[in-house]
Structures are given as structure tokens and as C-alpha cells.
Amino acid sequence: MGTTDAPPTRNADGRFFITEECDGCGLCGDAARYFVIRQPVDGSEEEALLRDAMEQCPLSCIRDDGTVI
């Protein structure tokens, strides 16, 4: 399966998203599994947890498109 740059439609609207390559391995913890349910507030603890999950993801499926809404 190739790398997908566009977020799947199940992600909550916003800058963070999980690509379709996510296999639900769980290495990211409970921060993001399969899709982003709600977008974190900038600078919040939730954002910090999501960024930690991005670093843990072996498939680099957790993405930040950089757009602030």
C-alpha cells in the first residue's frame, strides 16, 4: 500500500489526521487509533499527547498538515 497524503474522511476536520495505512498497532497508545475523533486545541495537553503519538507511530500514519483552523 502506498503513502497517502490526503486524510481519510473519518478524521475530524482540522490539521491532524490519520492516514489509511494505520493498522491499529497500538504503539501510539490511546492518542490516535485509526482516525482523529476531535482536533486538539493548540498548545493543549491533548496536542502534546498527539505529537508524542506521531513520534511513536512506526508507519508515520499520524500527520499534521500545518493548517490552523
Query: Are 31 and 18 in contact, with CB atoms under 8 Å apart?
Result: no
Listed residue (67, 13, 60) closest to 36, CA to CA: 13
Predicted local distance difference test score (pLDDT) of residue 6? 56
Report, as an integer, the average pLDDT of 14-18.
91
Going by pLDDT thresholds of 50, 70 and 90, the confidence category of residue 3 is low
- What pLDDT is attached to residue 47? 92
What does the radius of gyration of the chain's CA atoms come to, in whole angstroms? 11
What's residue 17's pLDDT? 92
Residues forming beta bridges with residue 33, ordered by sequence position: 35
**Overall average pLDDT of the 37-44 stretch:** 90
- pLDDT value at position 69? 46
In the predicted model, is pLDDT for residue 7 greater than 80?
no
